[in-house]
Structure 1
Amino acid sequence: MTQIHVITAENQHSYKESLEEYFRLRHNVFVDERGWRNLHQPDGREVDAYDNQNAVYLLAIDQDRVVGGQRLYPTLLPHMLSEVFGHMAQRGLPRAHTIYEWTRYFVVKERRMGRTDCRLLAAIQQFCLEEGVTELTAVVEMWWLPRWQQVGFQVRPLGLPTIIEGQPCIAASIKISQESLDQVRGLAGLRNFSLVRHEDVSPILDRVPHVAA
């Protein structure tokens, strides 16, 4: 059964192979499938400046195989929206201790018609509720908006759509709420859904962010 694992700098040593697979899958999805050629790397690993000790990963793992993943990053540090896509947030750039950026979300092709997507979407709401994160920011293709609305996410556009790699994209804010979690759980039929955590992982809001590499 697919489980969602919480990975931080404190327990990455236990997930070296899974993270390596996640980075390679990111390259397959974003470069090979979606054609984001500016992310191409000769070694086939899609890794950027925000894959550092401040990043939190929620990976969908089924029998030791990564089938999906996503990344969170503190907005108090320089992050993708502030440094690369700031022009897309004409209505203001949300930044706070309890606001995180949500990036590098994907589900492997053969799992996109199943429950893996809903498990990951439920995981992001549940993790943030448990950790005290109140809001997420993201830059996504426009087709994500109806998908988020379908699963009960409360979305607020931060600006007007912009063409990126030939696709209309938008910067948006997502409110974290129990109502959103309940709706996505209900749609997916997820009962007794819980995240896989190591006991030695401290709450993310208690951690002091380090300057990004």
Structure 2
Amino acid sequence: MTLVHVVTSRNRTQYKEQMSQYFRIRHEIFVEERGWEQLRRADGVERDQYDNAQAIYLLALDNGRVVGGQRLYPTLLPHMMSDVFANLATRGVPRSESIFECTRYFVVKERRTGRTDCRLLAAMQEYCLSAGITDITAVVEMWWMPRWHQIGFKVRPLGLPAVIENEPCMAAQIAISRESLEQVRRVGGLRGPSLLQEKRHPANERMPHVAA
């Protein structure tokens, strides 16, 4: 069964092989498939300055194989929307301890017609609800908007669309809620949690994480 694992600086050494897969798949999808040539690297690994100790990865794993993933990053730090796409957020770039940015979302090609997409999106809501994250920001292609509405996400545009890499894109903010989680579970036919069972950490550690 595919489950979504939370990978952070605390447990990343337990996911060395999966993280290696993740960065190579990012290159395959965003460079080879989608044509983002500025990200091309000779070693076939796609990483950027936000792949650091502050990044939180949600990896959909099937028997140890990465079939989907996304990256969450704190908006109180310089992040992709504030550094690269601030012009898209004409209403201002949301920044708060309880707001994280989602980037580098993908599902491998052979899983795009199944439940992996909904499982990853449900896992994002589950993780954020457990971690006290109230909103997610993202810069996405316009086709994401009807998809988000279909699965019950409450989305607030942060500005007007602009063409990026030959695609109309926009900055948006997604509210985290139990209602959105239940709707994406219904749409995806998901039963129970999508995240691997969490191991709780001491109360003074704000962000709960999942052990391997």
Q: TM bucket by the smaller chain? A: over 0.9
Equivalent residues of 1:75, 1:96 under 8 A apart? yes
> Which residue identity does 1:150 align to in structure 2?
Q
Deviation of residue 94 (structure 1)? 0.5
Equivalent residues of 1:56, 1:72 under 8 A apart? yes
Equivalent residues of 1:23, 1:47 under 8 A apart? yes
> Which residue identity does 1:54 align to in structure 2?
Q
Equivalent residues of 1:132, 1:205 under 8 A apart? no
Distance 1:203 1:163 in 2: 44
1:139 maps to 2:135: no
Task: Name the SS for the 2:76 alignment partner.
Answer: coil
Deviation of residue 199 (structure 1)? 2.9
Deviation of residue 197 (structure 1)? 5.1
Deviation of residue 164 (structure 1)? 0.5
Distance 1:197 1:116 in 2: 18
Task: Name the SS for the 2:195 alignment partner.
Answer: coil
Task: Name the SS for the 1:90 alignment partner.
Answer: coil
Task: Name the SS for the 2:113 alignment partner.
Answer: coil
Matched with 2:39 is 39
Distance 1:65 1:125 in 2: 22
Deviation of residue 120 (structure 1)? 0.2
Equivalent residues of 2:162, 2:169 under 8 A apart? yes
TM-score (norm 1): 0.93
Matched with 1:16 is 16
Stretch moving more, 174-183 or 192-201: 192-201
Superposed counterparts of 1:75-86, under 5 Å: 75-86=75-86
Superposed counterparts of 1:134-213, under 5 Å: 134-196=134-196, 199=199, 206=206
Distance 2:154 2:56 in 1: 22
Distance 1:205 1:134 in 2: 17
Distance 1:40 1:184 in 2: 34
Stretch moving more, 185-194 or 95-104: 185-194
1:63 maps to 2:66: no
Q: What is the CA deviation profile of residues 49-79 of structure 1, one whole-angstrom value per residue up to 9, with x for unaligned ones?
A: 0000000000000011100000000000000
Equivalent residues of 2:152, 2:184 under 8 A apart? yes
Equivalent residues of 2:70, 2:106 under 8 A apart? yes
Matched with 2:128 is 128
Distance 1:21 1:202 in 2: 31
Unmatched 5+ stretches in structure 2: 208-212
RMSD: 1.6
TM-score (norm 2): 0.94
**Count of residue pairs brought into register by the alignment:** 207
> Which residue identity does 1:126 align to in structure 2?
E
Matched with 1:96 is 96
Identity %: 61
Equivalent residues of 1:156, 1:173 under 8 A apart? yes
Stretch moving more, 165-174 or 193-202: 193-202
Equivalent residues of 1:154, 1:180 under 8 A apart? yes
Unmatched 5+ stretches in structure 1: 208-213
Equivalent residues of 2:68, 2:105 under 8 A apart? yes
Task: Name the SS for the 1:101 alignment partner.
Answer: strand
Matched with 2:87 is 87
Distance 1:61 1:32 in 2: 22
Deviation of residue 200 (structure 1)? 6.8
